[in-house]
C-alpha cells in the first residue's frame, strides 16, 4: 500500500520515492484512511503552511486516474492527505499475488551476504535450556534474512578449545570408562568434568595437570588430539539430534579450534598497525577513546584468549564471504567483549567492522531455574523438549485421540510451544517459562497460532469437498469491503514490511507478535462471518482470503523454525 501511494505522489511532488517513503504514516484508525501523508516536512522546502501544501497536492492528485493505483479517494485533513483504497480491487490484487509474489517485491538482500553466528555450545557438555535462546533467535534471523533475498552463511562457533579440555582429558585418563562414555557421552563427560573440580579443591595439583594436557593439545600431541577429537565427535552426534528436533541447521561448524593456528597472524597484523602495548606482561590494544577497558590480545603467559580468536574468526569470515553484516547472537553478558573486538577491528582500519553487530539477549529460566554445568545441576534441554512433547501428546489424547500422525503433531506443538514462548518476547528481555501458560490454545502462544492455522486448513478441506477452492484468479467481491475483512487484508499486506523490520531490529519477536495479531483478526472474522453461504462467489472470495491467511501463518511459523500442522 505504501508503495502505491509513493508511486502516485512522485507524479505531483518534487521528491524521489526514497524521500517520500519515510514520510508515509499509518493513520491511528481506519476511518481516517489506510495511508497518510503529512506535509509538515515540506513547509520549509515550499515556504508555505502544511495545510496549503496539502490542498495543492490534492488538487493535482484529483487530476490523475487514482483507480490505476488502487486508490478510491484522497481526503485532506489539515496538513494530512489521507488515502482510502478501493477495498474490493486491492483485496483481489493482493490475494492473487500469493506469498512468493508478495515477497518478491521486498528482496532487499539481493546481492548481499550476512553471516549469522549462533548456538555455539561447548562440546563435551549438555545443551542447557538457556542455550535455546541463541539457537532459535539465530536460526529465525537466518531464515528471515534468506526470505528477503540475502545469501546467509550460518555459523556454529563451537566452544571446543581451552584449558577445560585439558582438565577433561586428565579426568578421563584418571577415572573415565570408554564404554560408558560411548553409551552416554555427554552425561559421562559432564560427570568427569564435575568430579575434576570437586577433586581439585583438595588436590590443586590437578589444575596443573589439566593445563599440561591442554598444552599438549595445542602442540599437536597425538594422544591429546585423538581424545579431544573423540569428545568432539560424540558431542556433535548429540547436538545434531537436538538441532533436528528444533528444525535448526548450519552451513559451517567452525569452532574456536579452527582459528588456533590463525592467531599469530592476527597478532602480527595488530603489531603492524602499531596498536599493541604491554600491560603487566600482557599484550593489549588500548581503547581509551571508547572509554572502555583495553582489549587483551595475549596473556602474560603467552596464551591467546577469546578476543584473539574472535578477531581471527572475523578476519576469516571477511576473507571467505565478504559479508555486508556479521551478526553474533550471544548473550548480553558478552556486550563489553564484542564492543572491544569491534573497536579493535575499526582501529585496524577494517571497513567491514561497521557491519559487525552483537545480537544480545537476556536469560531464559524455567519456573525460576537456570542451573550450572560446573555444579552439575543444569536443566537439560533434551529433557525439557521431551517433557513438552509428552504434554502435547496428553492434550491430543484428550481432545482428538483419533488424529492421524499424532506423534508428529505432538512434536510440532510441544517444541513449538517452547520456541514460540522464547521468540514472542523481545530478545533483550529475560524470560521465565511457565508450562501452563505456554501450552494453552488461547492467548499469546505457539499452540494458539498452530491451532488457528489448523482451523483454516480444516475450512479449506471442507471447501474442496463442496467444490469451492482458493482460485488463482480472485474476483473483486463486496465481502472484502466489511471492516473485519479489510482489517485482515490490511494486516496481510504488511507482512513483507514486518520481515524487513525484523532484520532492521534483528528481533524475531516482530514476526511472532504479527502472527498473534493475524490470528486474532482471523478468529474475529471467523466468528462474525458465515463461510458456507448460498452465493458461491462469496464462498470463493472468503476461501481465497482464508487460504492467504493460512499461507502467511505457515510461512511466519517456518521463519521461526516452528512447524504448522494441518490438523490438531
Residue 128 pLDDT: 85
Please check whether residue 105 is in contact with residue 142, taking contact to mean a CB–CB distance below 8 angstroms: no
Q: What is the pLDDT of residues 363-385, one digit of tens each?
A: 888 777 654 433 434 578 888 89
Count helices and strands (H / E) in the chain.
22, 13
Full domain range(s) for residue 555: 381-559
Q: What is the rounded CA–CA span in Å between residue 212 and residue 191? A: 21
Residue 373 pLDDT: 38
Eight-class DSSP state of 68: G
Q: What is the pLDDT of residues 437-491, one digit of tens each?
A: 888 888 899 999 999 999 999 999 999 988 777 777 788 999 999 999 999 999 9
| Domain-embedded: residue 547 | yes
Regarding whether 74 and 187 lie in a shared domain, the answer is no
Number of domains in the chain: 3
| Domain-embedded: residue 543 | yes
Residue 369 pLDDT: 67
Burial of 267 (0-12, 13-18, 19+ CB in 10 A): middle
In the block, residue with C-alpha cell 589444575: 207
* Of the residues 45, 65, 85, the one at which a domain ends: 85
What SS3 class is residue 377? coil
CA distances from 98 to 526, 549, 560 (A): 21, 10, 20
Regarding whether 514 and 416 lie in a shared domain, the answer is yes
Residue 147 pLDDT: 97
| Domain-embedded: residue 20 | yes
Q: Give the number of other Cβ atoms within 10 Å of residue 31's Cβ.
A: 9
The overall average pLDDT reported for the chain is 93
| Domain-embedded: residue 300 | no
Which secondary-structure segment (H or E) carries 558?
A: helix 536-559
| Domain-embedded: residue 339 | no
Regarding whether 532 and 433 lie in a shared domain, the answer is yes
* Of the residues 211, 228, 245, the one at which a domain ends: 245
Q: Residue 421 has which C-alpha cell?
A: 514462548
100: pLDDT confidence band, cut at 50, 70 and 90? confident
Q: What is the rounded CA–CA span in Å between residue 409 and residue 392? A: 8
* Of the residues 68, 85, 102, the one at which a domain ends: 85
Please check whether residue 297 is in contact with residue 270, taking contact to mean a CB–CB distance below 8 angstroms: yes
Q: What is the pLDDT of residues 220-243, one digit of tens each?
A: 999 999 999 999 999 999 999 999
φ/ψ (deg, to 5) at 548: -70, -35
Amino acid at each position: 500500500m505504501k508503495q502505491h501511494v509513493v508511486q502516485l505522489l512522485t507524479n505531483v511532488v518534487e521528491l524521489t520515492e526514497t524521500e517520500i517513503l519515510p514520510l508515509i504514516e499509518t493513520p491511528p484508525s481506519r476511518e481516517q484512511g489506510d495511508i497518510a501523508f503529512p506535509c509538515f516536512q515540506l513547509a520549509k522546502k515550499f515556504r508555505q503552511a502544511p495545510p496549503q501544501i496539502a490542498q495543492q497536492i490534492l488538487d493535482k492528485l484529483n487530476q490523475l486516474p487514482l483507480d490505476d493505483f488502487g486508490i478510491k479517494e484522497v481526503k485532506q485533513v489539515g496538513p494530512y492527505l489521507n488515502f482510502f483504497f478501493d477495498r474490493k480491487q486491492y483485496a483481489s490484487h493482493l490475494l492473487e499475488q500469493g506469498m512468493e509474489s508478495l515477497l518478491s517485491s521486498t528482496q532487499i538482500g539481493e546481492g548481499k551476504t550476512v553471516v549469522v553466528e549462533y548456538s555455539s555450545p561447548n562440546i563435551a557438555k549438555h545443551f542447557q535450556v538457556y542455550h535455546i535462546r541463541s539457537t532459535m533467535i539465530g536460526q529465525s534471523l537466518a531464515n528471515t534474512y534468506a526470505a528477503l533475498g540475502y545469501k546467509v552463511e550460518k555459523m556454529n562457533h563451537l566452544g571446543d578449545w581451552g584449558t577445560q579440555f585439558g582438565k577433561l582429558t586428565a579426568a578421563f585418563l584418571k577415572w573415565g570408562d570408554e564404554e560408558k562414555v560411548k553409551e552416554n557421552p555427554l552425561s559421562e563427560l559432564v560427570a568427569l568434568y564435575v568430579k575434576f573440580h570437586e577433586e581439585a579443591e583438595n588436590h590443586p595439583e590437578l589444575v596443573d595437570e589439566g593445563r599440561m594436557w591442554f598444552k599438549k593439545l595445542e602442540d599437536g600431541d597425538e594422544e591429546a588430539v585423538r581424545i579431544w577429537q573423540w569428545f568432539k565427535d560424540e558431542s556433535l552426534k548429540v547436538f545434531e539430534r537436538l538441532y533436528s528436533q528444533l528444525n535448526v541447521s548450519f552451513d559451517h561448524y567452525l569452532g574456536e579450534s579452527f582459528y588456533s593456528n590463525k592467531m599469530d597472524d592476527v597478532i602480527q597484523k595488530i603489531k603492524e598497525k602499531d596498536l599493541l602495548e604491554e600491560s603487566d606482561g600482557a599484550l593489549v590494544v588500548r581503547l581509551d577513546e571508547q572509554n572502555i577497558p583495553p582489549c587483551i590480545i595475549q596473556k602474560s603467559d603467552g596464551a591467546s584468549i577469546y578476543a584473539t580468536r574472535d578477531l581471527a574468526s572475523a578476519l576469516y569470515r571477511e576473507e571467505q564471504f565478504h559479508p555486508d553484516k556479521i551478526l553474533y547472537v550471544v548473550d548480553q553478558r558478552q556486550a563489553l567483549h564484542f564492543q572491544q573486538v569491534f573497536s579493535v577491528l575499526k582501529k585496524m582500519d577494517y571497513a567491514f567492522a561497521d557491519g559487525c553487530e552483537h545480537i544480545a539477549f537476556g536469560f531464559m529460566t524455567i519456573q525460576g531455574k537456570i542451573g550450572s554445568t560446573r555444579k552439575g545441576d543444569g536443566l537439560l534441554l533434551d529433557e525439557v523438549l521431551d517433557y513438552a512433547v509428552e504434554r502435547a501428546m496428553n492434550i491430543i489424547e484428550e481432545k482428538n485421540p483419533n488424529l492421524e500422525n499424532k506423534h508428529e503433531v505432538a512434536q510440532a506443538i510441544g517444541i513449538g510451544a517452547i520456541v514460540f514462548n522464547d521468540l514472542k518476547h523481545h530478545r533483550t528481555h529475560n524470560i521465565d517459562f511457565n508450562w501452563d501458560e505456554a501450552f494453552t490454545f488461547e492467548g499469546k502462544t505457539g499452540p494458539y497460532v498452530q491451532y488457528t492455522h489448523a482451523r483454516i486448513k480444516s475450512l479449506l478441506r471442507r471447501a474442496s469437498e463442496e467444490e469451492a477452492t482458493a482460485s488463482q484468479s480472485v474476483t473483486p467481491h463486496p465481502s472484502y469491503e466489511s471492516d473485519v475483512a479489510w482489517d485482515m487484508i490490511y494486516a496481510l499486506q504488511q507482512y513483507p514490511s514486518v520481515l524487513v523490520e525484523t532484520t532492521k531490529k534483528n528481533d524475531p519477536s516482530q514476526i511472532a507478535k504479527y502472527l498473534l495479531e493475524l490470528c486474532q483478526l482471523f478468529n474475529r472474522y471467523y466468528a462474525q462471518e458465515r463461510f458456507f453461504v448460498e452465493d458461491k462467489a462469496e464462498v470463493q472470495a472468503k476461501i481465497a482470503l482464508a487460504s492467504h491467511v493460512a499461507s502467511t501463518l505457515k510461512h511466519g511459523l517456518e521463519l521461526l523454525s516452528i512447524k504448522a500442522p494441518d490438523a490438531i
